[in-house]
Amino acid sequence: MFENIEFKTLNKIALFILALYLSPLFILGQAGHFGIHDGLAGKHDTLKVLSDSGEIFGDHNTTIPAMLNGVPRSSMGSEYDSMLWLMYFLGPFPALVVAKIIIHSVAFFGMHRLLVNHFLGKEMKTLSLGVALAFSVLPHYAHFGLSVAAQPLVLDSFMTIRRSGGRWTSWLVLVLVPFFSALYYSFLYILIFMGLVLGYDAFRNNKLNWKFLGAIVSMSMVFLLVEYRNIFMMLFNVDFISVREEFSVGASQNHSISYSIYRAIKSILHGFVYSQHDVNLSLQTFVIIPSAVIGLFIVFDRKIREPRFLLALFFIILSCTVYAVVRSDLMLPLKELFVGLRKFNIYLIFMEPMLWFLVFALSLKLMVKNAKRGATIALFLVSLQILYGFFNHSEIQKSRKPSYEEFFSVALFKEIENFIGRPKSEYRVVSIGLHPGISLYNGFYTLDGYFTNFSLAHKKAFRKIIAPELEKNEQIRRDYDAWGARCYVFVEELEYGNWLYTKHKNQVVHQLGLNMDAFLELGGEYVFSAVEVKNHKENQMVLLKTFEDSVSAWKIFLYRVEIKSIKS
């Protein structure tokens, strides 16, 4: 493959293609598009709140008042989070750009090293380059840092230290990666697996690999440092009762066991073919899975021993199974009994992108070595996967959604702030038809928000506000009561799951039903609505003004709730 082209030239071509993939960050700037769910809304906004709070190094029990009527500092992550400091020093959007560059670059470099050093060998470094490029153009979520993208680099470091003790660079990787990633999402399971490998080696060789043990302990200790606030929340903050305490409580839909098993199997198959979540897309459907089928055929037809290929497939199936079963009705009886099962999800799914690309690389290796014109087939498949990655670029897939600039609409919300004319800390707001994270990003203090570790007491108090709307829709009621991390003003007339009611939709709500006495008791005063509420007077709301401009995606109806409605 490419016998007449020097590897350095191919490497430059690969880097150029990666730079082309990242170029919209610079060409479009804030007119570019990014993931909203678990991205701009739910991660980016809360990081900005912490960055602006003046409490980055605050005491565990210090309250950050801007969101959800106040959340403890310990629930908002560590001051050792590199993304937080990028935002603090560079500002929100430049931090996002720099994070994207780091993530995709590390994905490329790490996967190439892993494949060359441990899976394909130096004789197939060109193939490794192509697979690494395909991995680097996956739609990695910036706000998950290196939790997915750095897995190949970390695995390479562990395997190198296990085999030969490693150079200082391998140890440096294990020390630095925790500062830009999350233990919870992926590396906890990698560390557990490395521990099992260490035990297997000790049993087989009758001696302990001390350097390998040191590597596992070193990364674990750094993660304990980085995640110390989360550890405090889990083990020591007995005074704070989190919303997570009641995750899955009351979630049962009274399905039969056979139907629950059917739904779990359906979820497993869906996860295997399409991935379980937007934030861990492996893009395996159209190229990688067919390649794996061919690889399996070669393994069994030629009786080739390739245990790593089969092991990676096994872990993918295990990941899909665990995710589906843990989130199914089958687990609800255990979750009702054991609070730990309610509070913590098992996120093996975040390892799937790396595992799928290891399967892809090993499948291509089998083709090159055992199929006629295998190198040509491998080149074709790698090229297709790279093109598939480009097709899933956010500028293509999310082009119909608001851009960064349109979404946060800084100028528009500055106009609203000036119109209200009071310090934002004096009043609280909620949003209808748009994500509360937009208000948070623009410095307003909100009663609503998307956060997985706020006060259970606030969830219950907020429920009183939206109770009339919850009674209209069983799905919304069940999801709020059994989860509630999305503490939003749900409206039965609006599509559930859609909080992008932009100004071009001209949506109207005719029969809104909210408990405004409960709203006022929590300090609420203003409602930012992306839709017109026809019966606003019945909800004790006064329309003050509408706001829109040529840049913003929103037309905001600003309502004030009349204070006189509080019952004595």
pLDDT in tens, 466-506: 999 999 999 999 999 988 899 999 999 999 989 999 999 99
DSSP secondary structure of 67-118: STT-EEGGGG--TT-HHHHHHHHH-HHHHHHHHHHHHHHHHHHHHHHHIIII
| Tokens 């097709």 belong to residue | 391
In this structure, is residue 336 part of a structural domain?
A: yes
> Residue 93 has what pLDDT?
98
Q: What's the structural domain count of the chain?
A: 2
Last residue in a domain, options 315, 346, 370 = 370
Radius of gyration of the chain (CA): 25
Helix or strand or coil: residue 120? coil
Helix or strand or coil: residue 393? coil
- Is the domain of 247 the same as that of 354? yes
In this structure, is residue 16 part of a structural domain?
A: no
- Is the domain of 341 the same as that of 477? no
Lowest mean pLDDT among 40-49, 238-247, 400-409: 238-247
> Residue 58 has what pLDDT?
95
> Residue 337 has what pLDDT?
76
Terminal-to-terminal C-alpha distance of the chain: 81
Sequence-distant (6+) residues with CB within 8 A of 471 are 477
Percent of the chain surpassing pLDDT 70: 97
Asked if 380 and 307 touch (Cβ cutoff 8 Å), the reply is no
- Is the domain of 269 the same as that of 350? yes
pLDDT tops 70 at residue 3: no
pLDDT tops 90 at residue 239: no
> Residue 567 has what pLDDT?
45
- Is the domain of 427 the same as that of 353? no
- Is the domain of 357 the same as that of 284? yes
Q: Do the bridges between strand 449-450 and strand 71-72 make them parallel or antiparallel, or are there none, so unpaired?
A: unpaired
Under the banding of pLDDT at 50, 70 and 90, the label for residue 17 is very high
pLDDT in tens, 345-359: 777 789 999 999 999
In this structure, is residue 20 part of a structural domain?
A: no
In this structure, is residue 392 part of a structural domain?
A: no
Q: Do the bridges between strand 524-529 and strand 541-547 make them parallel or antiparallel, or are there none, so unpaired?
A: unpaired
- Is the domain of 266 the same as that of 341? yes
Lowest mean pLDDT among 105-109, 247-251, 501-505: 247-251
Q: Which residues pair with 558 in a beta bridge?
A: 528, 545
> What domain range is 450 assigned to?
409-565
Query: Average pLDDT of 322-327?
Result: 88
pLDDT tops 60 at residue 1: no
- Is the domain of 440 the same as that of 521? yes
Alpha-carbon distance of 184 to 105, in angstroms, equals 23
Lowest mean pLDDT among 41-55, 122-136, 326-340, 529-543: 326-340
Last residue in a domain, options 370, 395, 418 = 370
> Residue 252 has what pLDDT?
55
Under the banding of pLDDT at 50, 70 and 90, the label for residue 508 is very high
Mean pLDDT of the chain: 93
Query: Average pLDDT of 425-440?
Result: 98
- Is the domain of 357 the same as that of 416? no
Last residue in a domain, options 323, 346, 370 = 370
In this structure, is residue 514 part of a structural domain?
A: yes
pLDDT tops 50 at residue 565: no
DSSP secondary structure of 215-235: HHHHHHHHHHHHTHHHHHHHH
In this structure, is residue 218 part of a structural domain?
A: no
> Residue 416 has what pLDDT?
98
pLDDT tops 50 at residue 203: yes
C-alpha count within 13 angstroms, C-beta hemisphere, residue 499: 23
Lowest mean pLDDT among 4-8, 271-275, 385-389: 4-8
pLDDT in tens, 158-192: 999 999 988 999 999 999 999 999 998 889 999 99
In this structure, is residue 434 part of a structural domain?
A: yes
- Is the domain of 435 the same as that of 559? yes
CB atoms within 10 A of CB 249: 16
Alpha-carbon distance of 173 to 309, in angstroms, equals 25
Lowest mean pLDDT among 96-100, 196-200, 277-281, 288-292: 277-281
- Is the domain of 425 the same as that of 477? yes
> Residue 568 has what pLDDT?
37
pLDDT in tens, 393-418: 999 999 999 999 999 999 999 999 99
Alpha-carbon distance of 211 to 201, in angstroms, equals 13
Longest dimension (CA), the chain: 86
In this structure, is residue 337 part of a structural domain?
A: yes
pLDDT tops 50 at residue 146: yes
- Is the domain of 429 the same as that of 480? yes
Asked if 324 and 122 touch (Cβ cutoff 8 Å), the reply is no
> Residue 348 has what pLDDT?
77
- Is the domain of 436 the same as that of 536? yes
